[in-house]
A and B are shown apart, each in its own frame.
Chain A
Amino acid sequence: GAVVSQHPSWVICKSGTSVKIECRSLDFQATTMFWYRQFPKQSLMLMATSNEGSKATYEQGVEKDKFLINHASLTLSTLTVTSAHPEDSSFYICSARIVGAGPLHFGNGTRLTVT
């Protein structure tokens, strides 16, 4: 089946630094990928929609200059958390679907801890 891979699975960084998270579709092409965030004991919240070759679409309340998304190819989207602060500590999850059909497939998430 379709596989979505995220890297890294966890990362610890200091406040003020930037962190890049990669999301790859391993065996299919994805023109659209979605980035979610999940705080402890809460459900997933959509942050942004990543579109190959064009600008990402951000949900209300998500700062596009803080969460930079790049979808440079049909198999790779990256999320960069810039100038990270402790309140950005969360579980970040990406998802993708095969072009035109099928359910969304999710990566295994990236646990970000900002100290």
Chain B
Amino acid sequence: DAKTTQPPSMDCAEGRAANLPCNHSTISGNEYVYWYRQIHSQGPQYIIHGLKNNETNEMASLIITEDRKSSTLILPHATLRDTAVYYCILNYGGSQGNLIFGKGTKLSVKP
């Protein structure tokens, strides 16, 4: 079973920030938080990952709480093309083995 909990669905207005939460209360000290997304009928796309510090790249920002029991993926200016299922996944170390996918959050960006 996946060790993360995400809301099944969320809506966001185009141009606004999309904030996707993830709970991982049983995270262990050397587990990283990874985010992927899957646009319909495509393979998952890597977005970002982090251990305990907040991270930002060209796609998104990742905010991890100090106790590391939850995190938030932020898409700063959502577009219609960001409509996808977003997966929050825990994985050991910086070099991944296989990933265990939960059900993710279906984000719908609306005009």
* Residues of A bordering B, CB below 8 Å: 4, 6, 34, 36, 43-46, 49, 91, 93, 95, 97, 100-109, 111
User: Chain A at the B interface: mostly helix, strand, loop or mixed?
Assistant: strand
Decide if B94 is an interface residue (CB 8 Å cutoff).
yes
Residues on A with C-beta less than 8 A from B38 are 44
Residues on B with C-beta less than 8 A from A45 are 101
A91 to B96 Cα, complex, angstroms:
23
Nearest CB of B to A57, in Å: 10
Residues on B with C-beta less than 8 A from A36 are 101
A-B contact pairs, 30 of them (CB 8 A): A6-B43, A34-B98, A34-B99, A36-B101, A43-B87, A43-B101, A44-B44, A44-B101, A46-B99, A49-B98, A91-B41, A95-B43, A95-B44, A97-B95, A97-B96, A100-B95, A102-B96, A103-B34, A103-B46, A103-B49, A103-B96, A104-B46, A105-B46, A106-B36, A106-B43, A106-B45, A107-B43, A108-B42, A109-B41, A109-B42
User: Chain B at the A interface: mostly helix, strand, loop or mixed?
Assistant: loop
The listed residue with most A CB atoms (<10 A of its CB), out of B36, B44, B103, is B44
Residues on B with C-beta less than 8 A from A44 are 38, 44, 101
Task: Provide the B40-75 mask, 1 if CB < 8 A to any CB of A, else 0.
Answer: 011111100100000000000000000000000000
